[in-house]
Amino acid sequence: MKRLLAYVLVIACMLSSLFLLSACGKINAGKDLENVKKAGVLKVGMECNYAPFNWTQSQPSDTAVPLSAGGYADGYDVQIALKLAEALGVKLEIVKLEWTGLIPALESGKIDCIIAGMSPTADRKLSIDFTDHYYTSELVIVVRRDGPYANAKSLEDFSGAKITGQSETFHYTVIDQIPGVIKETAMADFTTMLIALQGKKIDGYVSELPGAESAVTANPELTYIRFDEGKGFVASEDDVAVAVGVRKGSNLVNDLNAALSAITPEMREQLMIWAVENQPLTAE
């Protein structure tokens, strides 16, 4: 009986320890705002590889933010992040991460929010919260200027085309709306898709309009197809907009929304024009 009691006590202690460790490791999202202000830093996660929303450059500039691993981050998202950090009265730290690592980094507390051209889709809202939109665009298809789909007018015109999109994005799922499409394997980032398109391994990829404009500015041998109403992709406003991602229940949302509301639509559009014009060009 004594041995049985001892075993029970040991198991009880182990379960208690596990519970305490779990409780200690859990982030209280309701104190995010206080923690950010106490630290004096807003840690923002982004790819730094999705021009014109965000990119990495080797040289400093008046608008770029240094990265801890070297180089500098800039782009539309970086400028939005700077404005939000200023409104909170803290410094900005950009944390460069792979696209698929952004939400896990947010949930684990490595970053305070995501500002990465991320759309507040229904699936993402299951795991994280979002602010109001800070940019709204439309979906297009980037193709070769001398390719067979350069004069396409509708999704039907892409029947038989090899089309892809970035992995774990809404862009990739809408490919299913193209009749007779050959849906290629999703790719990790836009640089990979650009190389595949230039190498004729694919006929096109789905992109938001600013990303397409950026690609064409840097690579004049490419173009993109915009669709008249009723001839393109069907998407909700959330699917074609971008917002700041925060932890579930984060009390950062109200202050971030207040800061976003101070950025007028005109300012946002001018900022996007600036970002497209100032991205690092990949073509001479």
At 23 the pLDDT is: 39
Tokens of 45: 């996660």
CB 234 within 8 A of CB 173: no
Tell me, yes or no, whether 33 and 98 share the same domain.
Answer: yes
CB 72 within 8 A of CB 93: no
d(CA 46, CA 191): 15
Tell me, yes or no, whether 155 and 87 share the same domain.
Answer: no
Q: Is residue 11 part of a domain?
A: no
d(CA 132, CA 243): 6
Q: Is residue 230 part of a domain?
A: no
CB 61 within 8 A of CB 42: no
Using a cut of 0.95, tell me whether the model's pTM lies above it: no
pLDDT in tens, 218-234: 999 999 999 999 999 99
The pairing of strands 162-164 and 182-183 is parallel
Residue type, 5: L
Tell me, yes or no, whether 132 and 32 share the same domain.
Answer: yes
pLDDT in tens, 195-214: 999 999 999 999 999 999 99
Pick the closest to residue 18 from 26, 6, 28, 29 (CA basis): 26
pLDDT tens track of the chain, all 284 residues?
A: 444 444 434 444 444 443 433 334 568 999 999 999 999 999 999 999 999 999 999 999 999 999 988 999 999 999 999 999 999 999 999 999 999 999 999 999 999 999 999 999 999 999 999 999 999 999 999 999 999 999 999 999 999 999 999 999 999 999 999 999 999 999 999 999 999 999 999 999 999 999 999 999 999 999 999 999 999 999 999 999 999 999 999 999 999 999 999 999 999 999 999 999 999 864 33
d(CA 51, CA 53): 5
CATH of the domain at 74: 3.40.190.10
What order of strands is seen across the sheet that includes strand 41-46? 91-96, 41-46, 113-114, 241-246, 129-136
Tell me, yes or no, whether 59 and 153 share the same domain.
Answer: no
At 47 the pLDDT is: 95
Per the structure, the count of domains in the chain is 2
At 26 the pLDDT is: 66
At 4 the pLDDT is: 42
Q: Is residue 175 part of a domain?
A: yes
Tell me, yes or no, whether 253 and 206 share the same domain.
Answer: no
Tell me, yes or no, whether 128 and 149 share the same domain.
Answer: no
Range of the domain at 92: 28-136+239-278
DSSP annotation of 158 reads G
CB 50 within 8 A of CB 242: no
